[in-house]
Structure 1
C-alpha cells in the first residue's frame, strides 16, 4: 500500500482552493420587447445556415494602441542646447579662464532656442544663464586685475638720482 493515488493529479499550489469551473452554458435568447427598435440599434440578421449562440465567441489577438492625438511626438534633437549647458558648466568650473568658450556657449544657446525642439528649451536656457554668468565673472576678474595693474603703476615710486 502506498499513499499515492492511482491516477496523477494536476499540480495545485499550496493554499489554492479554486472552485471548479462550471461547464459552458448557452445564454438564453434575449427577451422580445413590445417597443419597436430604431434602425441604428437593430442587430444584423444571422445567416440562415448559422444558428445564433451555437459556439462560444472567438476572440482575436489584442490590438496595440499606436498613439494618436494628445501623445507627444518623437523627441527632437537637443545637441546645441546640451552643448551650451556643458560649456557653461565648464566655464564656471574654470572661472572664466578664456573668453572664447563663453561666447561659443552663448551662440549655441541662442541657436538651440531658435532651431531645436521644445524638449531642448530647458537646456538652452540653462546654458545661456551659465555662459552669461561665466562671462560676467570673467569680466569682473579682468576688471579687478586691470585696476590692480593701474594702481600698482600709479603708486610706483619714482626714483631720481
Structure 2
C-alpha cells in the first residue's frame, strides 16, 4: 500500500467544506490486469548550509494628532465661527454706556436694537454677547431715566421754592 489515494480528490479551498463524495463503485467486477505501481521516490535535496536570519520588523507608534479646538462642521455646512458683529457691538455699546453713566440715550437704543437682532440672526456662540449687551444697555437706559428724572424733580423744586416780591 502506498500513500497515494485511489481516486484523485477534488480541490477544496481552505475554509470551504464541500459535501462528502460518495465512494466509487466499479460498474462490474471484471478481472483487471495487475499493473505495478511506479516508484515515486523523493529526490534527495541538499539542505542549505546556513539559513538566513530575518530580522523582526520594527514598528513605530503612529503620530498622535490633537483634536480640533471646536467643531467646524463637515463639508457642505456653513461655518459658524463664534459671535458675529451685532452681538459684540451691542455688548461694547452697553459697557461703554454703563461706564459713561448713561449720559446719552441714542447709543443705548442702538445697543438694544443690535442685541435683539443678534439674538435672532446670529450663531448660538454669540448668544452670551447679545444677552450681555441687552442687559447693560437696559441698565444704562434705566440710569439715563433716573438722571433725567432727578434733573426734572430738581428743576421743579427750584422753580416752586423761589419767591419773587413785587
Q: TM-score, normalising length from structure 1?
A: 0.56
Aligned-pair CA distance for 1:78: 1.6
Q: Mapping of 1:93-112 within 5 angstroms?
A: 93-112=99-118
1:154 aligns with 2:160: yes
Gaps of 5+ in 2: 1-13, 17-55, 74-78
**Cα distance change of structure 1 residues 66 and 134 upon mapping to structure 2, 3 Å threshold:** closer
Dislocated runs of 4+, deviation >2 Å: 55-59, 61-67, 70-74
Aligned position for 2:94:
88
The 1:102–1:58 alpha-carbon spacing in structure 2 relative to 1, beyond 3 Å, is: same
Count how many residue pairs are aligned between Structure 1 and Structure 2. Answer: 106
Query: What CA RMSD, in Å, does the superposition of the two structures yield over aligned residues?
Result: 3.1
Q: Using the alignment, how far apart are the partners of 1:90 and 1:66 within structure 2?
A: 38
CA distance, structure 2, for counterparts of residue 111 and residue 105 of structure 1: 10
Residue 127 of structure 1, aligned match among 130, 133, 143: 133
Larger Rg: 2
Partner-residue secondary structure (3-state), 2:165? coil
5+ residue gaps, structure 1: 1-35, 39-54
